[in-house]
């Protein structure tokens, strides 16, 4: 069911500063910022040879990232994202296995323009997990 690791997401208090830090300190290629109102975040992607790092900042006080940063003011790892070939089949298999899908259980369009779902961290060893259809 699982494909490759698509990205590791880090919540950051200041997306501009974090992007600049990755560019200047690590010499990384960083995408332009993109607002995702349906998910309550602004994101950039740090391109790596074999995967990406997603930097997230809250888009408003109702953002789940705002709540995360309230507990972790310096930021930190928020989630991992794996690729799947068929997100609905993956969801159905997970639900049959007892996993909890966050939200209404239906895929939403993510930052790459593809359907995504999130699995409750309590079902995967304390790690919020995103699945992205490729």
Q: Is the separation of the CB atoms in 59 and 35 below 8 Å?
A: yes
User: Across-strand partners of 46?
Assistant: 30, 53
Two structure tokens written together for 20: 């600049």
Active site residues: 130
Two structure tokens written together for 126: 């304390």
Q: How many CB atoms lie within 10 A of CB 75?
A: 18
Start-to-end Cα distance in the chain: 12
User: Of all helices (H) and strands (E), which one includes residue 15?
Assistant: helix 15-26
């Amino acid at each position: 069911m699982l494909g490759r690791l698509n990205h590791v997401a880090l919540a950051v208090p200041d997306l501009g500063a974090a992007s600049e830090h990755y560019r200047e300190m690590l010499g990384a290629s960083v995408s332009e910022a993109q607002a995702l109102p349906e998910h309550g975040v602004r994101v950039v992607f740090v391109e790596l040879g074999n995967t990406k790092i997603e930097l997230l900042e809250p888009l408003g006080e109702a953002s789940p990232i705002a709540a995360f940063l309230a507990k972790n003011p310096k930021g930190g790892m928020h989630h991992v994202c794996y690729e799947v070939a068929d997100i609905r089949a993956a969801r159905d298999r997970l639900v049959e296995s007892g996993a909890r899908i966050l939200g209404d259980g239906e895929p939403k369009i993510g930052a790459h323009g593809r359907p995504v779902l999130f699995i409750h961290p309590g079902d995967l060893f304390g790690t919020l997990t995103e699945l992205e259809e490729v």
